Structure 1
């Protein structure tokens, strides 16, 4: 069953050990620590994280079926963080089965099939949220990592959320879900995407949707608006919306800030 869900950003400076300037994302870091405390209180056996930066198939969704998942984030000066997790292949299989029932384009990532200890590489979109939500816990929960294509129809992403929720329910396990993503990426004229007022408008609309527990409105946001805003978390949040359609949850916005060129929102969801 689903015991917790979250929207979590993945800016590198959130993690103190590798931050170029720890003050830059201090507000978000504080919220992520609170998110981690709430996740731990929900006692998940498994944390399912959806990342926009993993191994993404064209017009599909990948799911890692390796024994382990591991990642490293490092800096040129030698600072780094690393983490390794066991993968919940039983829940992976349940999600695959539920996905097939929903006609979803799910693809397994098996690693080297000749090795029983194959490892799924964790990108920053998966590792940074897991660093706060799974890594500190003892015993450490298992993980499931999915990476969806942003080209998929919104309705397909919603159906994926329903499939994940059904798989969690049928598994008999306590499952947490994390929609990893940053918000609009055009907040700074000197940033890689330049400046567009749509980023601020998008981020405020997302915060409003979270606070009103009304993620359904995301289905109606115009594609041009999303393109101008240079969105990231939008697609993973649609999956969360589908999940909540199966398992009603109430969200709380813990923080929002845009200290650099991209916005970051942290939100916690608990079953109603």
Structure 2
């Protein structure tokens, strides 16, 4: 088999003794597991190691593949530029992956000189690559490297990109090992980097069990909202890795799992045992995706259905629907309020536009206007196109009357949104957003949106919303 084995490996820089300065001893099980993986890869002696990382040049809408001739990196960001690694890039492999992915309409780009110059990118190896290979290179040094950073794509495209890696390795007759670099939840304990979330330990338990039991469909169809709440950075790496195993049976071994710093570190091997037709699961993933979408659509109320129909009609026909012909709920036609329409794709924000106060004759008109604006005119994103419509998830927030407050202690990011203002500058942040768990974080984002320095004097208002999703 061209794909010999796959590994999940974490990437905490403090696992390196010079960086950890003794703290690494608290994750000794992980160190032992990483050393074990290094010895196994040495035994397999692959031609090329493919590492999938969250921390390279991450694009929202594409997977990136490093095209430097020599792949070089160090731990300078962690105070140790003297700990340096360099590897030969398997550029033939990198080229072939991106070429086939493009042919398959999977968004993927080579990070070459021109792209680096245009977007001011840094192509040095990131710690998501350096930490796993620190352990591999202790035992095995004669290999080429392919350095991939996942994009915020659908589970289908991530899986299909993994299939491309597998097919490319076969065509080029490369014996490869695939490393999915990723930490699990960053929210396991109260002192975790992102604070505590009940979703964190549950997420880690599920992922480790699914890997142990080879439950690939469950991994591929993890709920995006749930994984966001868990604060993970490894799921998409794992999903591409699972794609590289399409049609292949594996023997799975969990070497370790621990999280003493509030971040989950898991080490797992999936050793290829041979071809296995029931492991061709792309159509199964698509079926489950469709079932999840159908269930979500069934739960949509009239507010969300109106936002969806508005944007779909506008994208497909460039026509704006009317409130009178598309609204049954009298409250939508009679009441006025500020409205925000938010659109997500693959769990990531795709557009959000709203009004703090009513600007139209009724809520229905407000939804129609803001749905088109969120999908087409949000300056942070390119306009939504027809191919994306089926992947979109909508929510509609109806804003209650704001009230002035004199202290940030009167805020609660779960219950209240916040409006900050100074003169003509104004910024708003909705309540109960994923990843916004503290008052300071809520204010920091709102001030940044307004262009107000935290050191300036400014006014604050708080408001509640009725959220429809």
Q: Which has the higher contact order (CA 8 A, sep 6+)?
A: 1
* C-alpha separation in 2, matches of 1:183 and 1:230: 8
1:173 aligns to 2:174 (yes or no) = yes
1:106 aligns to 2:108 (yes or no) = yes
* C-alpha separation in 1, matches of 2:247 and 2:92: 21
Structure-2 change in CA distance of 1:31 and 1:101 (3 Å): same
Q: Which residue of 2 aligns with 1:2?
A: 3
* C-alpha separation in 2, matches of 1:57 and 1:196: 27
* C-alpha separation in 1, matches of 2:11 and 2:184: 10
Q: Which residue of 1 aligns with 2:70?
A: 68
* C-alpha separation in 1, matches of 2:86 and 2:80: 19
Secondary structure of the 1:59 match is coil
User: Is 1:2–1:247's contact at 8 Å kept on the other side of the alignment?
Assistant: no
* C-alpha separation in 2, matches of 1:79 and 1:18: 11
* C-alpha separation in 2, matches of 1:225 and 1:78: 35
Secondary structure of the 2:211 match is helix
* C-alpha separation in 1, matches of 2:220 and 2:144: 31
Structure-2 change in CA distance of 1:224 and 1:75 (3 Å): closer
Q: 26, 30, 38: which one pairs with 1:24? A: 26
User: Is 1:162–1:246's contact at 8 Å kept on the other side of the alignment?
Assistant: no
User: Is 1:48–1:176's contact at 8 Å kept on the other side of the alignment?
Assistant: yes
Q: Which residue of 2 aligns with 1:40?
A: 42
Q: Which residue of 2 aligns with 1:224?
A: 225
Structure-2 change in CA distance of 1:167 and 1:220 (3 Å): same
* C-alpha separation in 2, matches of 1:258 and 1:106: 33
Where does 1:56-95 land on structure 2 (aligned, <5 Å)?
A: 56-74=58-76, 80-95=82-97
* C-alpha separation in 1, matches of 2:220 and 2:177: 24
1:183 aligns to 2:173 (yes or no) = no
Q: Which residue of 2 aligns with 1:116?
A: none
* C-alpha separation in 1, matches of 2:267 and 2:123: 26
Q: Which residue of 1 aligns with 2:55?
A: 53
Q: Which residue of 1 aligns with 2:130?
A: 127
Shift of 1:154: 0.9
Q: Which residue of 2 aligns with 1:256?
A: 257
Structure-2 change in CA distance of 1:10 and 1:173 (3 Å): same
Q: Which residue of 1 aligns with 2:329?
A: none
Shift of 1:107: 0.7
* C-alpha separation in 1, matches of 2:25 and 2:211: 26
Shift of 1:76: 7.0
* C-alpha separation in 1, matches of 2:87 and 2:234: 23
TM-score, scaled to structure 2: 0.54
User: Is 2:19–2:80's contact at 8 Å kept on the other side of the alignment?
Assistant: no
* C-alpha separation in 2, matches of 1:108 and 1:167: 16
User: Is 2:39–2:139's contact at 8 Å kept on the other side of the alignment?
Assistant: no
Structure 2: which 5+ runs fail to align? 116-121, 274-469
Shift of 1:188: 2.1
Q: Which residue of 1 aligns with 2:234?
A: 233
Secondary structure of the 1:97 match is helix
Q: Which residue of 1 aligns with 2:425?
A: none
* C-alpha separation in 2, matches of 1:106 and 1:77: 32
TM-score, scaled to structure 1: 0.91
User: Is 1:46–1:173's contact at 8 Å kept on the other side of the alignment?
Assistant: yes
User: Is 1:98–1:164's contact at 8 Å kept on the other side of the alignment?
Assistant: no
The two structures, once aligned, show a CA RMSD in angstroms of: 1.9
User: Is 2:8–2:238's contact at 8 Å kept on the other side of the alignment?
Assistant: yes
| Equivalences, count | 265
* C-alpha separation in 1, matches of 2:80 and 2:212: 40
Shift of 1:134: 4.0
User: Is 1:216–1:241's contact at 8 Å kept on the other side of the alignment?
Assistant: no
Structure-2 change in CA distance of 1:186 and 1:90 (3 Å): same
Structure 1: which 5+ runs fail to align? 114-118
